[in-house]
Amino acid sequence: MFWSQAERFAFNELSVFSLRGETFLASPLSPLWAWLVGFLCSLLIGGAAYWKGSLTRSGWVAAVAVGTLLFALGNLVWFACLIAFFVSSSVLSKWKRYVKRQAEASYEKSGGRDAWQVAANGLPGTLLCVAHAIWPSPLWLVSFVGIMAAVNADTWATEIGGLSRFRPRSILSGKPVPTGTSGGVSLLGTAASVVGAGFIGVSAWICLYLSSGSATDATGMAQSSNLELLKVGVVLVLSAAIGGTIGAFVDSLLGATLQRMYRCTVCGSVVERQQHCGKPTEFVRGIRWMNNDAVNIISSLFGAVVALGIGLIYYQTTIF
């Protein structure tokens, strides 16, 4: 393998527990190392994102907190789901940014993620990780994968769907709406959300596989069979793909219905922002507290519930 001595030490501390015979990575590394490695990795990755303009300073601080907790209380798999979301969405948002500049003007926020956006994307998952540290069960991880898959699916759909040559259509009426409208969906965006959701599951699976390999090395005996890892991997990918896609669908639905929207008093477009064309906008519809961050949190929880359902089917039955 390609691990350095320090990483090998950290991964060797991984412990493993079993539910219905399936092996799952569980508790933290040796605590000091876990916190230290998690903090440094988060600091570096967040720092690169801050330097690239994908995070504001407050967003960087929030990202370091979320990343450190996921690594220390969870393990590499939890951390990897966050990083897979974070790095891929940062890269996508930079990609063809000139094409999307027009569309982004109507979003509530554009440019770097601030602390609120990082919290909206990271806090529900972090709470699951805390719960996992107190009452260990693989179902927490499956739910978490559903959350991150929903968040990632929504981001990929927005970034890639925004490049569609065809105008998006309202998820409610089916009528064409301007690119960047909340609740607008396109074929390209929908395909991107399915792939983006599955991407989180595949990332989790790869890290589970890598971590389990070093756990086996540490004890000198196989703690998990390849078949078990394969089955758990299929559960993770299915949970992510299905949970994440449904979460992104709920996101579009809320965006078209309950999300608060404003109308620009200058150009007349309906936007998420309280300012447009340099003037304050006027409230037109939605629930007052339902901003984009709230929509993200609620829809990602749908992703978690669906993923949990798939996890329960796996652990409570013998279908797989």
State the binding string over 251-270 for Zn ion (x if CB under 5 A, else -): -------------x-xx---
Q: Is 99 in the site for Zn ion (CB under 5 A)?
A: no
Q: How many residues bind Zn ion (CB under 5 A)?
A: 5
* Binding test (CB under 5 A) with Zn ion, winner from 276, 291, 293, 314: 276
Residue carrying the six token digits 């990780």: 129
Closer to Zn ion at the Cβ: 139 or 271?
A: 271
Q: Which is nearer to Zn ion, 174 or 268 (CB)?
A: 268
The Cα 122–Cα 297 span in angstroms is 9
For Zn ion, the closer of residues 75 and 179 by Cβ is: 179
CB of 102 to Zn ion, least distance (A): 12
**Of 274 and 316, which has the nearer Cβ to Zn ion?**
274
Specify the stretch interacting with Zn ion by CB under 5 A; choose among 11-19, 63-71, 124-132, 273-281: 273-281
Residue 159 CB, nearest approach to Zn ion (Å): 23
CB of 276 to Zn ion, least distance (A): 4
Binding residue for Zn ion (CB under 5 A) from 6, 99, 230, 277?
277
Nearest distance in Å: CB 264, Zn ion: 3
Instruction: Report, in Å, the least distance between residue 266 CB and Zn ion.
Output: 5
Minimum distance between the CB of residue 279 and Zn ion, rounded to whole angstroms? 7
- Residue (8 or 279) nearer to Zn ion, CB: 279
Cβ 294 to Zn ion, closest distance in Å? 23
Q: Which positions touch Zn ion (CB under 5 A)?
A: 264, 266-267, 276-277
